[in-house]
Structure formats: C-alpha cells, structure tokens
Amino acid sequence: MNPYDFVRVVWEQPGAKRAGPSHDRFQGLSGRLEASITALSPLFLPEHNEQQPRRFMYSAARQAHVIPGTSLKGLFRSLVETVDGGAWWFIDKWAETLPAAFRQPANVDRLDAACRMFGFMGRKGGYESAPVLAGHVGFEDAVCVEAHRHAPFVTVALMNPKPTHSAWYLDPEGRMVAGRKFYFHSRNGPLKARAGARRDLSAHIEPLDTGSRFVFRAHFDNVADDDFNLLLYALVLEPELRHKFGYGKPAGLGSIEVKLHWVETVDRLARYRAGGGGMTRYEGAGLDGFIARRIARYTGDRQSLTLGDLRRIWAWPATYDLQYPGEEWFDDHPQAPIRATP
C-alpha cells in the first residue's frame, strides 16, 4: 500500500478568523505543561553533519539525544492547521487554486487558530512593513530519558513530493489540491533497501528504536479557550490514533505516542489580588477528565470529513504493509487516483 494519503479539506468550512491575542494584557489561558514522546517504531531526526551512518540528533553538549522544540512546534502547528481548516503555507504550484479563506493571511486582524497561537510573520516571501504577531505557544526541546539503539541500515528510496502527478495531488475534478499529506503507520517497517537497489535516493541512518522516550515542556500565554482546546487535541489526539513524526516516514519510521504528564493553568489576574493563588494543576485522573472535556468537540465529531480521514490514516495499531508502487505500476496507471494503488 502507498505510504501516504491526503486528509481532505472541507473548503466551505474554513477555520474562524479573528485578531490574534495581544501580549500587553492578561486574557485567555496561560500556563505550562509537560509531556512524553514514546517511539512506537524506529524514530529518526538527523544530526547536521554528513557522518555515515547519520545518527540521531544530540544536544549541543552531547549529553542526550534531543528533539528540537522547533520540530515539535512544526508537528503540532501543522495538525492544528489541518483540523481547524487553516491557511496553507508551503504550496506554490496550485496556490492560486486555494479559496481566499485558506490563503496566507494579510494582516493580524484575521488570523486562523494556528497563527493566533504559534505566531504570524506576514505573507510568505515578506513585504514592506509586514505585520507580525509573536507566538503565544512555545515548546522546549524534548530530551531523551530512555534511549534504545537500532542497528544502522539503508532505507528504501525516500521520494520527494511530485506535485506534477496531478492524478494524486488534485481532487477528482482536477481543480483543487486533494488535501494535506499524512503518512500511514506501518506494520512492516522499517523498510530497508534491497541488494542491488539504487542508493542515491536512500539514506544510511542509525535511528533510535521502539521504546525510546523523550520528555518535553511547553508554555502557553493568553490563548483563547477554543484555541487551547484545539491545541490539546493536536497534542493527545484520540485513543485509537498516534502521531507520525520525523525523518523516514515513508520507510515506516516515526510512529510516536504523546502523553501529557500534567497541565498547569495560571489565572494571572488572581496572582495580583490579595492572597495570591490562581494556579491550578491537573494530573492523574483529574488531568484525564480535564482533557476529555476540552477535546470533546473533536472526539465526538463523527461527521467531519477531515477528522474521518485523519482517523483512517493515523489509526493505531498499524494495519497496513507499506511500499511505494513500482515504476511499472505508474507506467500502466498514469491517471489512477492514489486510492487505486495496490
């Protein structure tokens, strides 16, 4: 089965647009949280060097493997954009086909949830006096607290996106992009290069193995109630879903479980009142109930086309054996849709 499919977009239902929260007064929710990431398959983020095999990223002091906070931000922001119906930022070929509500916002007064929480730097490419909104959600690096090494191997060919293959990347009418690309979890990974296979599209890597665990913290400031609920959903998903993250996703790497340890909210106004206080910490059973109430809008929505596709693609445990179709299949089926792949 092909390693990925597209989570479809309901173009008639873009995410709500409004001004981003300010940084100069207290409003919305503020606080911090701690969570863990556990590898459910081999996991890999490469160091920035050409050493062979390429190894998992270390901290600057090389004391532990780390996942940069910026990488975590990218994972959760892209999920917020998908679930909320947010703006598309990394699309060029068919950008003009996007409805206006899904294009990059022009000012800070009409931002989607991702921009309101993670920040806004003006239109892609920039322009004079571009409006800027600093982010209200930030992630620290995730530090490895339990590392299991996987033997080095050479992956199968890791193909670059090929948007020219419109039969896959456009909808059946050939007018709009098909959706956002998500990778299936694999029950037959990791996929390794066979003897005699081309190596120019493969990678020689030494990932961390299943069971490796990382811990990270994040903070949030002045986040609107509905945006915070969406952020929580992006973090924890649903019991039958798992995130896919990192390098080598087509080769069956990158299945992870994110689990919150605790969430601490702060009523900053109460902190300045007589007696102080204003801190509420959720953990254990209290945290479970807190999360369930806040993400119920998403977990209870069984009509959403977008959430339905996400549930199908990120379903866990993995049930698919993954492999890119061969060149012969593409030669014989040049106009076949992605769901017709063997």
Average pLDDT, the chain: 89
Give residue-wise pLDDT tens across range 156-168: 888 776 666 788 8
- Per-residue pLDDT band for 271 (boundaries 50, 70, 90) equals low
Q: Could you tell me if 88 and 79 are in contact, meaning their C-beta atoms sit under 8 angstroms apart?
A: no
Residues 62, 65, 71, 77, CA torsion sign: negative
**Rounded to whole angstroms, how far apart are CA atoms 329 and 167?**
14
> In angstroms, how far is CA 309 from the centroid of its own chain?
15
Cα distances (Å, whole numbers) of residue 41 to 138, 186, 244: 26, 9, 10
Global pTM value: 0.92
Which domain does 43 fall in, by range?
4-340
**Domains contained in the chain, number:** 1
Q: Distance (Å, rounded) from C-alpha 68 to C-alpha 143?
A: 9
65-96 pLDDT, tens digit per residue, is 999 999 999 999 999 999 999 999 877 777 78
CA distance 53 to 315: 31
